[in-house]
């Protein structure tokens, strides 16, 4: 029997594969085009390079958020605490970047 957690895991699995592929390919494509164009100022392409990597980094965080929501719905408080703690660590990391 396929439970709702299994369905969520499958959906998030697809999301993770898609996120990593799109993120990496977007960045790589922009880097290759920039290399072909040579010297010059191409802000949109430079943005795409960063955006691809950002998308890659955001993929596991989105997955974590989805598992946190599911853990709250299922009242698995130990998992909720762990996921919230993880968000706290990620928040500290973001603080390090922005600060």
Partner 1 sequence: MDLLLIACGGIFAGLVGALMGVGGGIVAVPFMNLVVGVPIHSAAAAGLISTLSVSCGAAGRYLRQGGLVDIHSALRLEFFAAAGGLFGGIAVGWLRGPVVQILFAVTLVYACVHIFRSALRPREASSSVGTTRVRIMVTFSLCFLAGVLSGLLGIGGGIVVVPVLHLVLGLPFKSATATSNFMMGLTAVPALCGFVSRGDLDLYMAAPLAAGVLLGASVGARLMPRIKTPVLKMGFALLLAAAAIEMARKGIGSW
Q: CA dist 97 to 19, 91, 93, Å?
A: 22, 10, 6
Instruction: Decide: 56 and 28 in contact? Cβ < 8 Å.
Output: no
CB 41 to partner 1: min, Å = 15
**In the chain, alpha helices (H):** 4-37, 43-73, 77-98
Nearest to partner 1 of 18, 73 (CB atom) = 18
Residue numbers of the site for partner 1 (CB under 8 A)? 6, 9-10, 12-21, 23-25, 27-28, 30-32, 34-35, 49-50, 52-53, 56-57, 59-61, 64, 67, 71, 76, 78-79, 82-83, 85-86, 89-90, 92-94, 96-97, 99
């Amino acid at each position: 029997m396929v439970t709702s957690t299994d369905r969520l895991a499958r959906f998030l699995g697809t999301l993770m594969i898609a996120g990593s592929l799109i993120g990496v390919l977007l960045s790589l494509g922009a880097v290759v085009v920039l290399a072909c164009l040579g010297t010059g100022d191409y802000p949109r392409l430079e943005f795409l390079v960063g955006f691809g990597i950002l998308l890659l980094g955001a993929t596991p965080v989105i997955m974590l958020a989805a598992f946190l929501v599911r853990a709250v719905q299922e009242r698995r408080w130990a998992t909720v605490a762990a996921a919230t703690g993880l968000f706290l660590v990620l928040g500290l990391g973001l603080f390090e970047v922005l600060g």
